[in-house]
Amino acid sequence: EIVMTQSPATLSVSPGERATLSCRASQSVSSNLAWYQQKPGQAPRLLIYGASTRATGIPARFSGSGSGTEFTLTISSLQSEDFAVYYCQQYNNWPKTFGQGTKVEIK
């Protein structure tokens, strides 16, 4: 099983600032990596797939990069609606596995 490790666990950011979230895979997942956003009481929402492709309707302030074992999600200028938990997930191998999540909170 591929273990996904996200850092940091919590990120305190002021509105308008840049947020950088990291995700590391225990072995290569190529570019088969997705990022999801989850707000309290809601289902996850797809942000990025293929490591760097924004899903339909996702604002351009969200960007993903990386391949192999190291990945990054960047939110260029945090808006109030972006404070949430973010999960990375690999779909290169079965079982599909998630990182433990990074909570982006208001500083």
The residue ranges that bind other proteins (CB under 8 A) are 32, 34, 36, 38, 42-46, 49-50, 55-56, 87, 89, 91-92, 94-101
CB of 45 vs other proteins, minimal distance in Å: 7
Closer CB to other proteins, residue 51 or residue 78?
51
Which of the 8 DSSP states describes residue 80?
G
Q: Rounded to an integer, what distance in angstroms lies between the CA atom of residue 84 and that of residue 90?
A: 20
Closer CB to other proteins, residue 16 or residue 57?
57
Q: Rounded to an integer, what distance in angstroms lies between the CA atom of residue 106 and that of residue 57?
A: 24
Q: Rounded to an integer, what distance in angstroms lies between the CA atom of residue 16 and that of residue 6?
A: 23
Closer CB to other proteins, residue 83 or residue 91?
91
